[in-house]
Amino acid sequence: MKLNANAETVLKQRYLIKDENGNPVETVDGMFHRVAKAIASADALHDEHADTDKTESIFYDMMTNLEFLPNSPTLMNAGRDLGQLSACFVLPVEDSMESIFEAIKQAALIHKSGGGTGFSFSRLRQEGSTVNSTGGVASGPISFMKVFNMATEAIKQGGSRRGANMGILRIDHPDILKFIDCKADNTEITNFNLSVGLTEEFMKAAEAGKDYDLVDPHTGETVKQLNARTVFNKIVDAAWRNGEPGIIFLDRLNRDNIVPEQGKIEATNPCGEQPLLPHESCNLGSINLTQMVKAEKGRKTFDWEKLERTVKQAVHFLDNVIEVNKYPLDQIEHTTKQTRKIGLGVMGWADSLLMMGIPYNTEEAVQLAEEVMSFITEKGRQASQQLAEVRGTFPLFEQSILPQDRPQRNGTITTIAPTGTLSIIGGCSSGVEPVFAYVFIRNIMDGTEMLEVNPILKEELEKRGLYSEGLMRRIAQEGAVSHIKELPEDIRRVFVSTHDISPEYHVRMQAAFQRHTDNAVSKTVNFSNEATREDVAKVYSLAFTLGCKGVTIYRDGSRDEQVLNIGKVK
């Protein structure tokens, strides 16, 4: 197997089955066999003569070759008693105590199994409005979010990974201003990502500088008006300060809602890439694009045949996951199986560009993004159509907005996940993000330092006889290959990192992938510390114009604790 040392460590710490003393009772190879066998077993549900051994070996090969990996809960839980395989859930929060605390309970069960939960809090009546049963006053969405947050905090230790949440509030909720600023203090609501749900009507009002209505969710009455541009600028200001909240475009999510009769989409999973209905879940999986690159006539290009084969097998895999998944609630099983959404995406995009010698921040890269993603979605659809011939369409196919002449097994096919852990296992850059830094200096326990160098940079430098530890230390210190003047010009141009890339190119890349993705794209638009509020506002407008479903921004150094730092220890 091709796993690197970091991958081995992550898998041993968090993915392998352990005994009561915390020692692994399976090997990494054993884990991949367990997963392949459990997922392949679903074939027998549709065909009693199915050769599940053959499917198992296809799935096993695809994972151990690091060509495709399913989301973490599938690796952790497939073939085990828990058997909860999905990364993404959305739970309903209605305007009642029963519903609020039911959602907290359900979220706790989901977090325990490694899944993340998203909620819209827009239905909760605003702070200070009356509570009929007691004659008291309502505490409002923000104070209930704090209860959700504490519940998540308390169950952190028991689960396989930290519980993650997404909290969404519509722009026309009367408590919107409090929501926008509720994470100004970074120690609050730490287990949540927040997004403001924007409407097209609001965006137009903001552009025109007009007022818009705040609506009491309980009575449906307009309670107040605010100036849309002022509120838009407040969101920009908060995000500029510390990256929160993000924004999502609700009308756009609902334009791609494949069965509008099933209800409105009001929320997404924690990292924003998967819009879902209340009580819906989705399982994700990612193709490692670095494994899809081949050398041809001295040039590196995508191996389209291999990519097509991998997409088809991945769709088969993910449809099987829906079958063998053990859902935390009957209602979630029911809603999920109504449309059988899957979320196939990619990782290692930036690394693939490096292998091909194409700088991330170029027209050529944006074009190639469109080409790769439209290919994946098209081949994925075909695979789902082939599955439908044998297994039938998803139950609501006829009510769906999908073309009726091509029956599909799965309501959606593609989603681009962050692949935070999967990319470590796959040994590649995460999702469609650029490379953050090419060299990290890692402190090891005994006080020694270890250099961690991007393998593609290392190979290129070694090939040209330029590699040295001293140079690597300088790159770590400078934070960018592009700053090292004595390196050849082409290396400095191709090996760009996050902060070499303008925010506009970040958005354009996100938009290129979004155009060919059924669900959404996880992407952070990174700004330098010096970026202004106007820069942030411009990116929001650009994301809206280019058809993104949402945006998350981050200005370097704007949080005390940031996950990745240039020139510092990882």
Q: Which residues are catalytic?
A: 269, 271, 273
Residue nearer to ligand UDP on the CB measure, 197 or 426 = 426
Q: Does 87 bind ligand UDP (CB under 6 A)?
A: yes
- Cβ closest to ligand UDP, residue 267 vs residue 539: 267
Radius of gyration of the chain (CA): 24
Binding track, positions 354-373, relative to ligand UDP; x by CB under 6 A: --------------------
Provide the pairing of β-strand 280-288 with 68-70.
antiparallel
Exposed/middle/buried for residue 464 (C-beta within 10 Å: 0-12, 13-18, 19+): exposed
Question: Judged by CB under 6 A, does residue 341 bind ligand UDP?
Answer: no
Residues 501-540, one symbol each (x = binds ligand UDP by CB under 6 A, - = not), give ----------------------------------------
Helices (H), 42-192: 52-64, 72-77, 97-112, 140-155, 176-181
Tokens, residue 133: 């049963």
Near ligand UDP by CB under 6 A, which window of 59-67, 151-159, 265-273, 379-387? 265-273
Angle between helices 363-391 and 304-324 (to 10 degrees): 50
Closer CB to ligand UDP, 400 or 415, in the complex: 415
Minimal distance in Å, beta carbon 481 to ligand UDP?
26
CB nearer to ligand UDP: give 284 or 350.
284
Q: Which stretch binds ligand UDP (CB under 6 A): 45-53, 270-278, 503-511, 541-549?
A: 270-278
- Nearest residue to the partner ligand UDP, using Cβ: 116
Member of 104, 422, 480, 521 binding ligand UDP (CB under 6 A): 422
User: 197: which strand partners?
Assistant: 170, 248
Say if strands 211-215 and 449-453 run parallel, antiparallel, or are unpaired.
unpaired
Cα 97 from Cα 85, distance rounded (Å): 29
Query: To which residue do tokens 């054993």 refer?
Result: 30
Piece of the chain touching ligand UDP by CB under 6 A; list 143-151, 152-160, 420-428, 463-471: 420-428
Is residue 155 within 8 A of residue 112, CB to CB? The reply is: yes
User: What residues pair up with 248 in beta bridges, in sequence order?
Assistant: 197, 550
H or E element at residue 386: helix 363-391
H/E element, 296: strand 293-296
Minimum Å gap between C-beta 316 and ligand UDP is: 19
- Rounded to whole angstroms, how far apart are CA atoms 212 and 227? 6
Among 7, 11, 35, 88, binds ligand UDP (CB under 6 A): 88
The answer to whether residue 72 forms part of the interface with ligand UDP (CB under 6 A) is yes
Window 145 to 174, contacts with ligand UDP (CB under 6 A): 161-162, 164
Query: Which residue, 395 or 420, is less far from ligand UDP as judged by CB?
Result: 420
Nearest to 496 by CA among 486, 506, 510: 506
Count of residues binding ligand UDP (CB under 6 A)?
A: 20
If the CB atoms of residues 84 and 408 are measured against ligand UDP, the closer one turns out to be 84
Q: Is 124:141 a contact under the CB 8 Å cutoff?
A: yes
**Whole-angstrom distance, CA of residue 465 vs CA of residue 535:** 41
CB of 165 to ligand UDP, least distance (A): 8
Stretch that binds ligand UDP, among 418-426, 439-447, 530-538, 554-562 (CB under 6 A): 418-426
Among 123-131, 266-274, 397-405, 489-497, the segment contacting ligand UDP (CB under 6 A): 266-274
> How near is the Cβ of 345 to ligand UDP at its closest, in Å?
8
Structure tokens at 407: 């029956």
State how far the Cα of 101 lies from the Cα of 401, in Å rounded to an integer. 35
SS3 state at 283? strand
Question: Could you say which of 269, 290, 336, 415 contacts ligand UDP (CB under 6 A)?
Answer: 269
* Residue 420 contacts ligand UDP per CB under 6 A: yes
Of these, 33, 108, 116, 231, which contacts ligand UDP (CB under 6 A)? 116
Instruction: Using the rule CB under 6 A, give the single segment among 125-133, 202-210, 411-419, 526-534 that binds ligand UDP.
Output: 411-419
Beta carbon of residue 283, minimum distance to ligand UDP (angstroms, whole number):
10
Place of tokens 């970091």: 6
Residue 421 Cβ vs ligand UDP, minimum distance, rounded to whole Å: 3
Rounded CA separation 3/146 (Å): 40
Determine if 276 is a binding residue for ligand UDP (CB under 6 A): no
Per CB under 6 A, does 93 bind ligand UDP?
Answer: no
Contact status, residue 283 vs residue 25, Cβ threshold 8 Å: no
CB nearer to ligand UDP: give 55 or 283: 283
Residues forming beta bridges with residue 276, ordered by sequence position: 267
Chosen residue from 421, 497, 524, 526 binding ligand UDP by CB under 6 A: 421
Q: Is 289 in the site for ligand UDP (CB under 6 A)?
A: no
The least distance separating ligand UDP from the CB of residue 520, rounded to whole angstroms, comes to 10
For residue 245, whether the previous peptide bond is cis, meaning omega lies within 30 degrees of 0, is: yes
> Cβ of residue 269: shortest distance to ligand UDP, in angstroms?
4
35 binds ligand UDP (CB under 6 A): no
Minimum Å distance from CB 70 to ligand UDP? 8
Amino acid at 236: V
**Angstrom distance (rounded) from CA 241 to CA 519:** 29
Contacts of 248 (CB under 8 A, 6+ apart): 168, 195, 196, 197, 198, 268, 272, 275, 549, 550
For position 419 contacting ligand UDP by CB under 6 A, the verdict is yes
Cα gap 282→276, rounded to integer Å: 8
**Which position among 36, 171, 215, 417 is part of the footprint of ligand UDP (CB under 6 A)?**
417
- Tokens linked to 324: 């063998």
Rounded least distance, CB 424 to ligand UDP, Å: 8
Shortest distance, position 44 Cβ to ligand UDP, whole Å: 27
CA distance 539 to 236: 10
Interface positions with ligand UDP (CB under 6 A): 71-72, 87-88, 115-116, 161-162, 164, 269-271, 273, 284, 417-422
